[in-house]
Amino acid sequence: MISTILILFIGWPGIISSLAISIAGIIKSKPLWLIIGAILAIPFSWYLSATPLLRHIGLLLPLFQVGAAVAIYRHVIWLAWLLLLPLACIAGWLGIAVLTQ
């Protein structure tokens, strides 16, 4: 039971749901959704911080989403998209790395 819950939050469902909720938050201009997306991204970023390549960047990913929430709150939509880009790029990079092995 606990392992299933962990897989949902740390695995690909957690990554995809974090990105989807964050994108929906930007489209609908709801900063709270970006905060929820940041909370969902914490287990994934914690996992990334254990890798040597992304050790220093891993724990910063949810902070980018919080920054995007602040940008949405201040009505700076382009900055919110720009701050969501690192999470999307790292998730895409990891997906490509997993699929090409």
pTM: 0.87
For the stretch 50-90, pLDDT in tens is 888 877 888 888 999 999 999 999 999 999 999 999 999 99
Domain count, the chain: 1
- C-alpha torsion angle, residues 1, 93, 45, 67 (rounded to 10): -130
Answer for the pair 35, 66: CB distance below 8 angstroms, yes or no: yes
For the chain, how far is it from start to end, CA to CA, in angstroms? 29
2 — pLDDT class (breaks 50, 70, 90): low
| 16-59 tens-digit pLDDT | 999 999 999 999 999 999 999 999 999 888 888 888 887 788 88
Domain that holds residue 39: 2-99
C-alpha 62/C-alpha 15 separation (Å) is 11
